């Protein structure tokens, strides 16, 4: 919506179908990479964490604990 409709950048009417599809694939690939990096450091996604806290009425740790290597 933010890219193609008038409330955002408004590229919808002026952009051809192939460019819309390329943009969609690019956004999808970005989301995959961002999610992989996010889940490397955090236990849950941000909305999942909020939902769990509201459901169980307690705060869950968001950050992953660092595992110390045994020497």
Span 52-63, pLDDT tens digits: 999 999 999 999
User: What local confidence, expressed as pLDDT, does residue 70 receive?
Assistant: 53
CA distances to 43, 47, 49, 60, 61 from 19, rounded to whole Å, are 35, 30, 35, 42, 41
- Within the chain, residue ranges assigned H as helices are 17-41, 46-56
Q: How many CB atoms lie within 10 A of CB 43?
A: 14
Give the residue, 65 or 60, on which the prediction is more confident.
Answer: 60
CA distances to 7, 12, 23 from 44, rounded to whole Å, are 30, 33, 27
The structure's pTM equals 0.72
pLDDT at residue 5 greater than cutoff 90: no
For residue range 14-51, list pLDDT tens digits in order. 788 898 889 889 999 999 999 999 999 999 999 999 99
């Amino acid at each position: 919506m933010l890219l193609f409709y008038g409330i955002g950048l408004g590229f919808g009417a002026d952009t051809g179908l192939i460019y819309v599809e390329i943009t969609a694939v690019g956004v999808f690939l970005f989301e995959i990479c961002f999610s992989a990096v996010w889940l490397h450091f955090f236990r849950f996604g941000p909305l999942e964490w909020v939902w769990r806290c509201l459901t169980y009425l307690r705060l869950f740790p968001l950050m992953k604990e660092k595992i110390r290597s045994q020497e």
